[in-house]
Amino acid sequence: MTLPRSLSEFEGSWSLSRTINDARAGQVVQADGQAVLRPTEDGLIYDEEVTLRVPGQTEMKGTRRYLWQDAGEEIAVHFEDGRYFHALKLGHLRFKDHHDCPPDSYDAVYDFSGWPNWIVHWTVSGPRKAYEMKTEYRPR
């Protein structure tokens, strides 16, 4: 079985498909788009562009940017402003990590069992948020 073992293996363009089950709003949001990971002096810049489909609303565009940095056996993921977000461990079939954003809590599971296709599943809970978000990535 092939697994990602270095930051550079994520470089390039990825198609993505996302489902957000929002328990608080009682709805399922769909999103499709792409993520491009391009080299910078500090690692890879992750740029995402998606089209969001919220029930009963007009389609919307959404973007995200993160910085992925080599951290030995892990990739450290930072927000665009440089704050640490979470990590993913290389060379593992699945890896879990946690991010506190008081008062909410974010739990991620990375699944590389279908590499080079991969999945990230977030469970978000707290007084302000209650949703599960699954994003599937495929090389373009």
For position 76, which CATH number holds? Answer: 2.40.128.20
Q: Answer whether residue 115 is part of any domain.
A: yes
Q: Answer whether residue 119 is part of any domain.
A: yes
Count of structural domains, the chain: 1
Strand ranges for the chain from DSSP E? 12-22, 27-40, 43-53, 60-71, 74-79, 84-89, 94-101, 104-111, 118-125, 130-139
Confidence class of residue 114 from pLDDT cuts 50, 70 and 90? very high
Q: Answer whether residue 1 is part of any domain.
A: no
Confidence class of residue 116 from pLDDT cuts 50, 70 and 90? very high
Confidence class of residue 81 from pLDDT cuts 50, 70 and 90? very high
Range of the structural domain that residue 72 is part of = 7-139
Q: Answer whether residue 98 is part of any domain.
A: yes
Q: Answer whether residue 65 is part of any domain.
A: yes
* Closest to 39 (Cα-Cα) out of 16, 69, 14, 64: 69
Q: Answer whether residue 109 is part of any domain.
A: yes
The whole-chain average pLDDT of the chain stands at 96
Q: Answer whether residue 74 is part of any domain.
A: yes
- What is the pLDDT at residue 1? 76
